[in-house]
Amino acid sequence: MRDDSADEAGEAGEAGEAGERRLTFTRDDLERFAAAGGDRNPLHLDAGFARRTPFGAPVVHGALLAIGMLGAIPPEQLAQIGTVRVWFAAPLMVGDAASVSVSPSRWGAGAWEVRLTGRGRALARLLAAPAGAEPAPQAVPAAAILTHPMRSAPAEPEPAELTPGATSGGAYATRSDELQQLAAALGAGRLDPALLEGLAWASYVVGMELPGLHSLFSAVTLNALAPGAAGALAPGAAGAPAARHVLSVRDHDPRTGRLLIDGTLFDAAGDPRASAVIECFTRAPALAPDPRLLAAGAEPAADPGAVLVVGGSRGFGAALSLALLARGYTVHVAYSGSPESAAELTRLAGAGSIRLELHRLDAADPVALTALGEALGGAGAPLKGLVLNAALPPLPMGVTANSGAELADYVARSLTLAAVPLGAMLPLLGPGSWVVCSSSSALTAPPRDWPHYVSAKGALEGLAGWLAAAAPGIATVILRPPAMRTEMTNTPTGRIAAAPVETIAARLADQLARGELPAGLTVLEPDAIVVAGR
């Protein structure tokens, strides 16, 4: 990991000083933290798994960020810290840099506030205070400890295990030397070992136990406890290392998946080491599209032919691919990431899979798309339709001077995923063909955290407008669906009002199959059709 103020960690010095530093983490750092603390959730370690989440790529462990943030506190003051509260607002991705700023806090004497910013917005906020700043939470009774060993693979708990009052627990231990080395490299070598273990433990609880595999760690309040005196706060005493833990679900909101967990970490003698209130979210994976819903009432297309769906292995793209198959089209699906998703699409297609062709390629690669175009053109018939649905996951972002370039880069990379396939397939399109550009209702109601996504969809619509003018015989369709139940919207609030993908996909496929969409530009919005510019 890279801490641009590492050399100054011992010099930040005097109480009351504020400062700024930058943090970056590599895949190796995450592997080391996972080995030291036990949180081996694939969201942090497996690019293929992470790709199928709203984040699109591996995410740095929140607890590791917290250790890095604590490292910004002057070492002598850090050694006095007995309570840590941290809230994670948005993820930091492997390889990305974030800025850390620290200042004394009005929470209490000797308290510090640390903020982590990146992508033009706040990523995390941390408050740290000496022992006694907060009353120690009630330790969960040791008698409730169960005996299961530490997990090497994340749990997938049953719903009953998430209900308020449910208790669990078992063995927990860190590789404390390795954890201490990580902390020291981040400038947090003076952090109370109980707090260091506690942060690793909280990460393990969320990522491996509750809710385990499909989880999001959002906040924790952590207190170091003195050995031999349940509930007393005494930072600095090294104590015996952790050996066991107990967890109790305090609350679970099924609307958002928010879980509140009370936990206590014990040493081998059964003395409490640390206590925590952990906030996290369950993230039930988005379901695969239902081919029965997509085929229900489907009539064969009047003029079926070959279509290409770019970004068609998951989510709305997969649903539309299945809907078009059900209406008699031969569907070529271009996808870049997940062979598992592609295999699932073949399975869902059932008998229709004989008209399904999968092409694993990077939609931004002109060589690959040109080759695909030549292969499709070699079949002799023009391309009936093209769906430009490949998109980049929109991580929350703010607009600042420093994030402007990152925003513009996102727009450029997103537009490339449409412009390259369009450019490669244009020679195969002609009068009677259609092109669908997957835009979004976000364009007319921009979410605050997605300026880059909204800008990218605006650019895509601009390209569609050009196409309609340059090739007026083609039916160019801008689709602005509402938020749909896909992995991209599988966030705490995104999942509440999301529409089923099948509804939107089936309706569009019917309109295409019936030839209802005229040549020129059409904008399709959830409950209205606007026809513009024939």
Coil, strand or helix at 286: coil
117/330 with CB nearer other proteins: 117
C-alpha span between 513 and 505 (Å, rounded): 12
By CB under 8 A, the count of residues binding other proteins is 23
527's CB contacts (< 8 A; 6+ apart) are: none
Confirm if 212 and 156 have CB atoms less than 8 A apart: yes
User: What are the strands, taking DSSP E only, across 409-454?
Assistant: 434-438
Taking the complex as a whole, how short is the minimal distance between the CB of residue 56 and other proteins, in angstroms?
18
Identified binder of other proteins from the candidate list 147, 255, 297, 401, rule CB under 8 A = 255
Taking the complex as a whole, how short is the minimal distance between the CB of residue 86 and other proteins, in angstroms?
13
Identified binder of other proteins from the candidate list 20, 27, 87, 134, rule CB under 8 A = 87
Interface with other proteins, residue 402, by CB under 8 A: no
Identified binder of other proteins from the candidate list 101, 103, 181, 256, rule CB under 8 A = 256
Positions in 260-289 near other proteins (CB under 8 A): 279
Interface with other proteins, residue 253, by CB under 8 A: yes
Interface with other proteins, residue 354, by CB under 8 A: no
140/498 with CB nearer other proteins: 498
C-alpha span between 111 and 128 (Å, rounded): 6
Coil, strand or helix at 490: coil
Identified binder of other proteins from the candidate list 8, 96, 178, 251, rule CB under 8 A = 251
C-alpha span between 231 and 134 (Å, rounded): 12
Interface with other proteins, residue 122, by CB under 8 A: yes
Q: Is residue 104 packed enough to be buried (19+ CB in 10 Å), middle (13-18) or exposed (0-12)?
A: middle
C-alpha span between 301 and 323 (Å, rounded): 11
Interface with other proteins, residue 405, by CB under 8 A: no
Q: Is beta strand 121-130 parallel, antiparallel or unpaired with respect to 112-118?
A: antiparallel
Identified binder of other proteins from the candidate list 449, 503, 507, 510, rule CB under 8 A = 449
Taking the complex as a whole, how short is the minimal distance between the CB of residue 258 and other proteins, in angstroms?
6
Interface with other proteins, residue 258, by CB under 8 A: yes
133/191 with CB nearer other proteins: 133
Instruction: Specify the DSSP class assigned to residue 140.
Output: P
Identified binder of other proteins from the candidate list 11, 232, 493, 531, rule CB under 8 A = 493
Nearest to 391 by CA among 350, 450, 347, 322: 450
Confirm if 133 and 75 have CB atoms less than 8 A apart: no
The per-residue DSSP string of 7-49 comes to GGTTT--STT--EEEEEE--HHHHHHHHHHH----HHHH-HHH
Identified binder of other proteins from the candidate list 144, 229, 302, 496, rule CB under 8 A = 496
Taking the complex as a whole, how short is the minimal distance between the CB of residue 112 and other proteins, in angstroms?
15
Site string for other proteins, 497-516 (x = CB under 8 A): x-------------------
C-alpha span between 73 and 105 (Å, rounded): 11
Interface with other proteins, residue 448, by CB under 8 A: yes
Nearest to 474 by CA among 388, 411, 416, 391: 388
11/253 with CB nearer other proteins: 253
Taking the complex as a whole, how short is the minimal distance between the CB of residue 88 and other proteins, in angstroms?
8
Interface with other proteins, residue 491, by CB under 8 A: yes
Q: Which residues bind other proteins (CB under 8 A)?
A: 87, 89-90, 106-107, 122, 125, 218-219, 251, 253, 255-256, 258, 279, 396, 448-449, 491-493, 496-497
